[in-house]
Structure 1
Amino acid sequence: MYLRQGDAVIDCTVRNLSASGALLRVDIYFAAPDRFDLLVVGSGSKRAVETKWQSGNDIGVQFLEGSE
């Protein structure tokens, strides 16, 4: 994931990918920002997402419209 505000990159595992969002799992706990860009290495896909929930190292995100 690419954090716009601080230009930081956090490695994560993308799980439960759907047309509307995904579950992200990070190795270290941090408070996810309200919005950030999700860059999927390999496919080169970059999508703007909104954090919907966070439980420990799991973060549920929703894709923002027009970010494909």
Structure 2
Amino acid sequence: MNHESNEVNEAVAGELGLMDAHMRASRIVAGELLEREFVEVGASGQRWAFEKVLAELPGMAGRVEEPHY
């Protein structure tokens, strides 16, 4: 596998990890998966920056079952 494929696989693994309730509950683990400059804008227009995401993640529902691809 080439370097680019490894980076993509790591990114996908990180995204899936953020869907796991156990990983979401840990500010340390979630903080390692997100860049400090992370910003997301939700469908409502609400802006979610790094610190706000870390504060809110533990209370957000994670996936209940494994995704089906």
TM-score (normalizing by structure 1): 0.24
Q: Which has the higher strand share?
A: 1
Q: Which has the higher helix share?
A: 2
TM-score (normalizing by structure 2): 0.24
Tell which structure's C-alpha radius of gyration is larger: 2
